[in-house]
Structure 1
Amino acid sequence: MDETSIRINHSCDANVGFRGQVLYVAMRDIAIDEELCHDYAMAGPMTTASSAAVGRRSAGAR
């Protein structure tokens, strides 16, 4: 595991996703003092904010 990945926490309301193995991208605006979190369920080849929103709607979340 790379140095960046070990600093990212899990959240079902993720604010970052990843492409490939180590490219994290913001899924929404992130506050200066907010910790970075990703959702393990979003481990597809191309995770985007729109696919995350669809997943939340499908699961009955906001």
Structure 2
Amino acid sequence: MSDSPKSPSSHDPWVAVGRIGGGVLVYGALGYLLDLWWGTSFMVVIGIVFGAALGIYTVFAALQDRS
């Protein structure tokens, strides 16, 4: 019986969900703050799209490294 925790695999689907969801949350929040600061209403959408794209990119990059 091993007491060491398992390291997360980049092939685990929850890792992909976390990367994409994290990108959406972080960059969406950054866009929201920019909207408040600049008085606009479109930066949150740009932040969400950019965060999702960056999250998808990191998922594919991690899968390419494992091949």
TM-score (norm 2): 0.24
More strand by share: 1
- Who wins on radius of gyration, i.e. which is larger? 2
* Greater per-residue helix proportion: 2
